[in-house]
């Protein structure tokens, strides 16, 4: 009898928790819907057409609004956040139908862009952040770069390993032309190696992937030190790869 009573209570609690969970999900859905209605932007998407040389992408910005005052201008602002002190550039949206707008621009693949919507009329001006356009990061994401120390000691002995993997499924021009590893100690270059030349190339014959793995033991004289100093703090391992388009990408592992 006691066991049955306990099971009944557990079922009651379980049903109660399930009911609360359903109510919370319902409230979250309602809140999302309300926020969506209150937002100026109803829908936003970027139609990105890649160029063969990946110098620039043709980007069509499609925008739908929830509300707009008569006579208001709808503007698209963007700037490359990779550049220091980059000024905002402005393009006016072209009206399509209803509350739908679009504009077209060419953006360099060397940049990641922050964007804003500006709506202005004679009496007021409002702005709202929009989703970024990360063209540089998009190309970078095809790469897996890794370089790390495995063992090290105060006598200067260092073992490290490197992996360079490139998925060039978007075209042969995205294959790598060079991949080099540089080791710095106290900001001074103490060792370098050509990974494509000296590394072991993995077999990806059925996939548009190229990969090299490399490991080495070296003696770094500058790393010989007394035990009261954390010699690893001054060690930095850096990878620099370049593809056939001439675009360079870096990876840095330091401050271990």
pLDDT value at position 155? 85
Low-confidence ranges of the chain (pLDDT < 70): 1-4, 6-8, 10, 13, 16, 18-38, 225-231, 254-256
pLDDT value at position 20? 66
Q: What is the CATH number of domain 41-137?
A: 2.60.40.10
pLDDT value at position 241? 97
172: tokens are 């042969």
Q: Name which of 15, 17, 54, 254 is nearest 140 in CA terms.
A: 54
Instruction: Give yes or no on whether 41-137 and 142-254 have one common fold.
Output: yes
Distance in angstroms (rounded) separating the CA atoms of residues 96 and 103: 10
pLDDT value at position 256? 37
Distance in angstroms (rounded) separating the CA atoms of residues 229 and 227: 5
pLDDT value at position 171? 86
* CA dist list (Å): 125 to 12, 75, 120, 188: 55, 11, 4, 52
Torsion of CA 2, 8, 10, 12, to 10 degrees: -150
Give the global pTM. 0.72
Buried b / exposed e over 219-243, threshold 16 CB at 10 Å, is ebeebeeeeeeebeebbbbbbbbeb
Q: What is the CATH number of domain 142-254?
A: 2.60.40.1930
For residue range 61-71, what is the model confidence (pLDDT) as tens digits?
Answer: 999 999 888 88
For residue range 177-202, what is the model confidence (pLDDT) as tens digits?
Answer: 999 999 999 889 999 999 999 999 99
What are the structural domain ranges in the chain?
A: 41-137, 142-254
Distance in angstroms (rounded) separating the CA atoms of residues 191 and 235: 11
């Amino acid at each position: 009898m006691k066991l049955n009573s306990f099971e009944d209570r557990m079922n009651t609690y379980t049903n109660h928790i399930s009911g609360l969970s359903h109510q919370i999900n319902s409230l979250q859905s309602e809140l999302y819907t309300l926020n969506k209605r209150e937002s100026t932007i109803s829908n936003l998407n970027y139609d990105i057409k890649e160029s063969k040389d990946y110098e620039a992408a043709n980007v069509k910005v499609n925008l739908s609004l929830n509300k707009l005052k008569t006579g208001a201008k709808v503007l698209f602002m963007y700037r490359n956040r990779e550049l220091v002190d980059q000024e905002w550039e402005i393009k006016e949206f072209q009206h399509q139908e209803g509350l739908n707008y679009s504009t077209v621009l060419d953006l360099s693949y060397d940049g990641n862009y922050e964007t804003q919507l500006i709506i202005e009329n004679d009496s007021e001006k409002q702005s709202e952040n929009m989703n970024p356009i990360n063209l540089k990061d998009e190309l970078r994401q095809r790469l897996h770069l890794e370089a790390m120390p495995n063992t090290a000691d105060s006598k200067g002995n260092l073992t490290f390993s490197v992996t360079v993997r490139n998925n060039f499924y978007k075209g042969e021009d995205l294959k790598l032309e060079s991949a080099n590893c540089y080791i710095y100690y106290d900001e001074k270059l103490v060792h370098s190696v050509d990974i494509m030349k000296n590394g072991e190339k993995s077999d990806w014959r059925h996939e548009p992937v190229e990969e090299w793995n490399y490991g080495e033991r070296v003696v770094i004289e500058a790393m010989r030190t007394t035990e009261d100093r954390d010699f690893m703090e001054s060690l930095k391992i850096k990878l620099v790869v370049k593809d056939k388009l001439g675009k360079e990408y870096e990876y840095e592992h330091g401050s271990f």
